[in-house]
Amino acid sequence: MNIKRRQPLGIELVKKGIVTGEHIQKALEYQEKNPNVKIGDALAILGLANPEILIKAVGEILGEKSIYLKNSDITIDIAEYLPLDLMKRYKAIPFQVEGGKIKVCFADIRNNQVNINNIRMLMLNKGLVMDEYIGFESNVDEFLRRYEAQISKNFDDLEKTDSVTDLVDNMIKFGIEKRASDIHIEPQVDSVRVRFRIDGELFTMAKIAKEKQAQMIGRLKAISNMHQEKQDSQDGRILIYDNYNIRVSSQKNIYGEKFVLRLLKKSSKIRDIFELGFPYDEQTLNKAINKRNSITIMAAPTGEGKTTTLYSILDYLNNESLNITTIEEPVEIRIPGLNQIEIEKNIRFADSLRTILRQDPDIILVGEIRDKETAEIAVQAGQTGHYVLSTIHTIDSIEVITRLRKMGVSDYDISSTVGTTISQRLVRRMCPKCRRERPFSSREKEIIRNIGNKYGINYDLENNVTYDAIGCEYCNNSGYYERIGIFEVLNITDEIKDLIIHGASTLEIRKKALEGMYKPIIVDGIQKVIDGETNLEELNRKLLVYNNL
């Protein structure tokens, strides 16, 4: 960007009547002692003008949008869009998202185009167009200091303790307290970074002194029954915390050994399928899952809650008249009345499934269909009177057909056995304690109506509001608390079976499905935005709504 102006910024500010010549002189004297401080920042630091009026004038002179950041301006969880290290390096703070655009405040726009372009590309990868604003460096630095302090304040006790045993114990207990699903312990060049995954997102919680790294690794290996000397990847378990079965994975990296702890509750309550967010009524649910001689397959990428939904389905179906058997790796939740089998190391799903078929099961849950052999035995089970539930990694319910074909399952077996495929994603729920209500913007209404028109749905927007994520202590300053599922359900009708058996493409199958009751996952996502469960920005983060209109 080429900035052209005839006179120095200070003179332009005097001409606008924002400051006096005497003010400029004081700012220049301050600059002599602090040569890296720009004239506008110097005026703001010295309190020689109202900072909000001052930055507005600076923006007008430079031909840029401008902002003096206040707490109320930041309406998003900034860590969701930029990690702290990049914010500090680029002197940039994302502060607001609306209608596919993200507003980012930079301390320097004139001499910062490379960094601005880097962040612009990062935002585009998230499906967002960046709108840059200029701000005072002192204002940006103040927010970054406060944000960093907020991140680390809860871990002060960890840094102070001399006992590595206490450090590791406090870290795990704090993770449990904060509802973390995973704890990442990552050796860096000069520290050990600790991050928690909460509601699907990673948050940096602490940086532990590098000199404690070896002792931390030793302690983790000791309590998870790992080999102390071995540095190759290992798996272990920590069983010393009440009601928790903690899976531990280690992997060597260039700075040491990284550990990931998966925090699994032994007696987690099975959540009702409708509480998880299943969008249809009980009649539709029964049509989708209460079947025999068929397979129901849950489809989603890793970490999107497939197993949790399957547990809810099993709990819904469970009664004394049925023999329900599961094959899992591992058994994450124990359900009374079920026969749950945990796969041992080096044992395949296919081998266990063959054995289970001799155990007179009515319903079988196979943790995951990973290969042709497991798929074929699952098909065989479905064809011989059993009801099989399983998961598969695909992007949606229709692509399950393609995935099975690529595994080598015949079109005949797919059409004759697969009864229902369900796809889901998890989106974060708005925090009920700090969410801020506002009307839908015109851009948001346009997006929602375009999606509705595409799929023949008339969304009611006039009588509904949406919410901004603000952040408070209750939600770890993220603006979100827990997650809810968004779903799509494909019932394999006779018409779709006929297309499959004749080798039709997924495009042809999708077209036929849309003529019936099938609605893609974005339809349920939009409804949950309208219902106030989540917002359009969170939905866009998962489904790239703005990129697919």
Res. 549 pLDDT band, cuts 50 70 90: low
pLDDT of residue 5: 45
**Number of Cβ within a 10 Å radius of residue 388:** 27
Closest CA to 1 of 53, 68, 63: 63
Answer yes or no: is pLDDT of 4 > 50. no
Is it the case that residue 18 has pLDDT exceeding 80?
Answer: yes
pLDDT in tens, 324-379: 998 887 777 778 888 988 877 666 777 778 888 888 889 999 888 988 888 888 88
Phi, psi of 94 (to 5 degrees): -70, 135
Task: Report the pLDDT averaged over residues 115-133.
Answer: 85
What are phi and psi for residue 437, nearest 5 degrees? Answer: -75, 145
Q: Which two tokens stand for residue 227?
A: 């080999």
pLDDT averaged over the chain? 86
**Per-residue pLDDT at 152 exceeds 70:** no
CATH code reported for the domain at 161-265: 3.30.450.90
- Dihedral sign (CA 406, 407, 409, 415): negative
**Residue boundaries of the structural domains of the chain:** 9-143, 161-265, 282-424+485-518, 436-469+519-549
Which two three-digit tokens encode residue 437?
């209500």
- Amino acid letter at 30? Y
Side-chain-side CA neighbours of residue 345 (13 Å): 3
9-143: CATH number: 3.30.300.160
User: Using H for helix, E for strand and C for coil, what is the string for 14-47?
Assistant: HHCCCCCHHHHHHHHHHHHHCCCCCHHHHHHHCC
Q: Please give the C-alpha separations between residue 51 and each of 18, 48, 75, 419, 497, in angstroms, as whole numbers.
A: 10, 9, 21, 64, 67
CATH of segment(s) 282-424+485-518: 3.40.50.300
163 versus 466: the higher-pLDDT residue is 466
- State phi, psi for 402 to the nearest 5 degrees: -60, -45
Structure tokens given for 171: 């870290």
Residue 107 has pLDDT above 50, yes or no: yes
419-458 per-residue burial string, b: 16 or more CB within 10 A, e: under 16: bbbbbbbbbbbbbeebbeeeebeeebbebbeebbeeeeee
pTM: 0.71
Torsion of CA 159, 213, 88, 119, to 10 degrees: -140
Convert the pLDDT of each residue in 437-454 to its tens digit: 889 988 889 999 999 999
Provide the pLDDT confidence category of residue 77 given band limits of 50, 70 and 90: confident
By CB atoms closer than 10 A (0-12, 13-18, 19+), residue 536 is buried
Q: Would you say the CATH fold of 282-424+485-518 matches that of 161-265?
A: no
Q: Which DSSP symbol is given to 66? A: B
Find the Cα–Cα–Cα–Cα dihedral 101, 102, 103, 109, rounded to 10°.
-100
The pLDDT score that the predictor gives to residue 514 is 95
Provide the pLDDT for residue 2.
Answer: 43
- Tell me: pLDDT of 225 over 70: yes
Hey, what are 29's tokens? 């004297």
